[in-house]
Amino acid sequence: MPKIKVALIGVGNCASAFVQGLQYYGKLEKEEDSVGLRNPQLGGLSPKDIQVVAAFDVDDRKVGKDLAEAIFAAPNNAPKVTDVAATDITVNKGPALDGIGKSTKNVVQMSNAPDSNVVKILKAAKAEIVINLLPSGATMASQYYAEQALAAGCAFVNATPNFIASDATWAKRFEEAGLPLAGDDLIDQVGSTALHKTLLKLLSMNGVKITETYQLDVGGGTESLDTMDRTRDAKRAIKTQSVASSLPYKAEVVAGSTDYVDFLQNKRDSYFWISGVYFCNAPMQIDLKFSTVDAPNAGSVLFDVVRAMKIALRKKLKGAIVPVCAYAFKRPPAQALWNARQMLPLETAEETFKCFTVEST
Ligand SMILES: NC(=O)c1ccc[n+]([C@@H]2O[C@H](COP(=O)([O-])OP(=O)(O)OC[C@H]3O[C@@H](n4cnc5c(N)ncnc54)[C@H](O)[C@@H]3O)[C@@H](O)[C@H]2O)c1
């Protein structure tokens, strides 16, 4: 079976978890040992079929290094779960553009190496799918790499909250180029927003009237630092709207306020406060802490997206691939679909996605 050839844009914490995950699950003999994967098999494809063929970054501690070394270089702090053998993939220097923000400029050490010819490298490596794992505030850089993917004839996966798949102009450009596109803003495997919505839905279904609720996220990865000065408000608006939509009435809702605590490393703590009343106005309160490690939270979903995009390529599908976007991304294309996604039971998106992959086997 030929491999699914992917290129990674940004060798940060997510990329580290992705590459380690390929090694970790690649070593397993039996599929039943694949604990932690939502779909060990998808459309006849397993994670063993995924191969990284190119990578780009701007940090001096990563550029020019083998990918196996770069994923463990500072400031990455995703936990090491496995040794990764040398890959023979050297991390290339990409143009910095707006990749580094005000808060992260003291954390990232900018490489002086000349910018590489991204299209040429993607073509030479025969990359089929480009995965955008740039910091969330890197709007121009995300657009630059979407442009490079178009020019190199690659599918594009936008894991960042920048608007590419949900932007009609970009979706049309991929459609015209006959290439599939998926995004925007990857959904975590065990996410705080999904947990918050599920709790609220359960309580309101049982007749509880929620009066107020908030959710605060604290993380120690570079991405949390970047969010602080570049995407905090946007993220808070998206998450608050999403959480509020799980209640059939108006309540005081705040979700997605983020802060950075460096000693947390790649851990993320989410705090939930829920207050309401039930029978005869009796009060109830939930005060909850939910702890995860950030980067591995993207791994299983990315494995699913990559395999689904390979299926899309095989089927010669083009433009934004709606079942993939609705299943794996917080902001799928088309405002109508995005609004629906806020209300849509998660199971419906899952079902549509499974049909998409099963039909293709
Ligand atoms: N669970 C998750 O980790 C998760 C979930 C959903 C979405 N995301 C999104 O995935 C993206 C990556 O997250 P992360 O935690 O890996 O971030 P990170 O900050 O650890 O990694 C970003 C990498 O991009 C590099 N970079 C910056 N500018 C660049 C440029 N112009 N060209 C090439 N490389 C450049 C940085 O040096 C760094 O290595 C973010 O946008 C985040 O919002 C992550």
The pLDDT-based confidence of 333 (bands split at 50, 70, 90) is confident
Q: Whose CA is nearest to atom 4 of ligand 1?
A: 298
What per-residue confidence (pLDDT) applies to 270? 96
Q: What would the mean pLDDT of 58-83 be, rounded to a whole number?
A: 97
CA of 258 from ligand 1 middle (Å) equals: 16
Q: What average pLDDT does range 88-106 have in this prediction? A: 95
CA distance 190 to 306: 19
Q: How far apart are CA 198 and CA 84, in angstroms?
A: 37
Q: Taking residues 248-272, what's their average pLDDT?
A: 93
Please report which confidence band the pLDDT of residue 312 belongs to, taking 50, 70 and 90 as the band edges.
very high
Residues 6 or more apart whose Cβ sits within 8 Å of residue 339:
none
Residue for token digits 């005000």? Answer: 102
Q: Using pLDDT thresholds of 50, 70 and 90, give the confidence band for residue 340.
A: low
Query: Is 58 a pocket residue for ligand 1 (Cβ < 6 Å)?
Result: yes
Confidence of residue 295 (pLDDT cuts 50, 70, 90): very high
Q: Is the CB of 59 under 6 A from ligand 1?
A: yes
Return the pLDDT at 128.
98
3-state secondary structure of 262: helix
C-beta 222 within 6 A of ligand 1:
yes
- Judge whether residue 281 has pLDDT over 60: yes
User: Percentage of the chain surpassing pLDDT 90?
Assistant: 79
- Tell me, letter by letter, the H, E, C secondary structure of 100-118: CCCCCCCCCCECCCCCCCH
Note the helical H segments in the chain: 13-26, 67-70, 118-124, 139-152, 168-177, 192-205, 222-230, 232-244, 296-314, 322-328, 335-343, 346-358
Q: How sure is the predictor about 234, in pLDDT bands with cuts at 50, 70 and 90?
A: confident
pLDDT of residue 245: 85
Q: Which two tokens stand for residue 104?
A: 């992260």
**Residue 350, pLDDT score:** 83
Confidence band, pLDDT 50/70/90 cuts, at residue 246: confident
Residue 342 has pLDDT above 60, yes or no: no
The per-residue pLDDT for 352 is 85
Distance (Å, rounded) from C-alpha 221 to C-alpha 6? 24
Structure-block tokens of residue 134: 């740039």
Q: What's the 267 CA to ligand 1 centre distance in angstroms?
A: 15
Instruction: Give me ligand 1 centre to Cα 30, in Å.
Output: 32
Average pLDDT over residues 203-231: 94
Q: How far is Cα 14 from Cα 262, in angstroms, rounded to an integer?
A: 17
Whether 297 lines ligand 1, by a CB cut-off of 6 Å, is yes
Rounded to an integer, the average pLDDT of 144-152 is 98
Mean pLDDT throughout 183-206? Answer: 93
Task: Determine which of 8-17, 30-39, 254-263, 329-338 has the lowest per-residue pLDDT on average.
Answer: 329-338
Pairing of strands 283-293, 180-182: unpaired
Strand partners, 277: 209, 283
pLDDT band for 257, please (50, 70, 90 cuts).
confident
Question: Taking Cα atoms as reference points, which of 33, 17, 26 lies closest to residue 81?
Answer: 17
Mean predicted lDDT score pLDDT of the chain: 93
Please compute the mean of the pLDDT values over residues 64-83 and round it to a whole number. 97
pLDDT at 320: 96
66 close to 80: Cβ distance less than 8 angstroms: no
User: Looking at residue 261, what is its pLDDT?
Assistant: 95
Q: Which of 212, 198, 203, 163 is nearest to 183 (CA)?
A: 163
* Model pTM score: 0.94
